[in-house]
Amino acid sequence: MKTIPVGVTAATTAAAYIRERVGAAWQTPVAGIVLGSGLGGLADRLEDAVRIPFSHVPGFPQVTVAGHAGQLIVGTLASRPVVMLAGRFHMYEGHDAGLAAFPVRVLHALGAPVYVASNAAGGVRRTFEAGDLMLIADHMNLMFRNPLIGPTEQGDERFPDMSDPYDPQLRALMREAAQAVNVPLHEGVYCGLVGPTYETPAEVRMLEKLGADAVGMSTVPEVIMARAIGMRAVAVSCITNKAAGLSHEKLSHAEVMEAGRSVAGRFEGLISAFVQRL
Ligand code: HPA
């Protein structure tokens, strides 16, 4: 594991750099939005966009996953100022949970009160099909890592309450947005595993018994961080495939990316309608 500083000081430095790059056009964002695999197209909908490669942001490591562009984009969506991250840092890349959650600290340091996560996920609920969207109601942390392990940073909660990790009001707003743009939106429990292997069929049966509806390799450390620093979180999974053993298909990253792209139009409409309601 690499030891890159991921605390409040590092986040403040990154945020100062981003504000300076945007210059006079800077407006405090209503939300920070992370785009999952295959969902990066939403970034093209931003108006007055300033694009900053991750490699320019102080404290950000290189993105190593194909299909994650690795850009931070500042602009307006539905006339609301937002900051988007096209790409994220996964633990399976060798990052610890603190680094996986670091961009959330940066979004907070930029003044975003709301954290919107999106991800590609396998459908554990048997009725889920590739292309379905699922609002995350709750999660299970089967990554067995936590970004808050270690000394408490100034302003962080030591023992954050996790009884409502995904903000009920924001979830209601997301459902309302889905209705407004006529996008079917399921709701369920996301289970985070560290990856990078997809699950075995036996593991998927275990996850089903535990109460998971979808499985993926991200989001959990980020939402833990959001709660610890007082941001309200909401998240949407794009079901890119039936989880292993639930169909005869073998899983591949290429298929996950392709399914992400096929749902992109609905996803983009949903998030735009949500942001409009913030
Ligand atoms: N499992 C874990 N992560 C995923 C999957 C999956 O089936 N599909 C997309 N991300």
Q: Are 255 and 241 in contact (CB under 8 A)?
A: yes
Q: How far apart are CA 65 and CA 92, in angstroms?
A: 10
Q: For ligand 1, say whether the CB of 121 is within 6 Å of any of its atoms.
A: yes
8-276 homologous superfamily: Nucleoside phosphorylase domain (3.40.50.1580)
Residue 274 has pLDDT above 50, yes or no: yes
Residue spans per domain, the chain: 8-276
What's the mean pLDDT in 69-81? 92
At 1 the pLDDT is: 47
**Of 119, 191, 198, 246, best ligand 1 pocket probe by most atoms within 8 Å of the beta carbon:** 198
Tell me the per-residue pLDDT of 168-209, one tens digit each, with 9 for 90 and over. 999 999 999 999 999 999 999 999 999 999 999 999 999 999
Distance 241 CA to ligand 1 centre (A): 7
Neighbours of 58 (CB within 10 A): 14
Return the best residue to mutate from 68, 91, 206, 241 for the ligand 1 pocket (most ligand atoms within 8 A of CB). Answer: 241
Query: What is the chain's percent helix, strand, coil content, to nearest 5?
Result: 35, 25, 40
Rounded average pLDDT over 78-87? 95
**Does 12 have pLDDT greater than 90?**
yes
Number of H helices, E strands in the chain: 7, 9
Q: Which atom of ligand 1 is least distant from the CA of 243?
A: 7
pLDDT of residue 116 exceeding 60, the answer is yes
How far apart, in Å, are the Cα atoms of 143 and each of 65, 97, 147, 221, 267? Answer: 19, 9, 11, 9, 26
- Rounded CA separation 58/72 (Å): 12
State the number of CA atoms in the 13 A half-sphere of 130 facing the CB.
17
Q: How confident is the model at residue 81 (pLDDT cuts 50, 70, 90)?
A: very high
Give the active site residues: 37, 68, 90, 92-93, 120, 217-218, 241, 253
pLDDT at residue 231, rounded to an integer: 97
Arithmetic mean of pLDDT over the chain: 92
CA of 82 to the centre of ligand 1 (A): 27
Q: Which residue has the tokens 């409409």?
A: 269
Residue pair 131/183 in contact by the 8 Å Cβ criterion: no
Rounded to the nearest whole angstrom, what is the distance from the C-alpha of residue 3 to the centroid of ligand 1? 27
Q: State pTM to two decimals.
A: 0.94
Instruction: List Cα–Cα distances, 152 to 8, 66, 109, 215, 228, in angstroms.
Output: 10, 34, 17, 29, 10
- The answer to whether 122 touches 195, Cβ cutoff 8 Å, is no
Amino acid identity, residue 104? V
3 state DSSP class of 170: helix
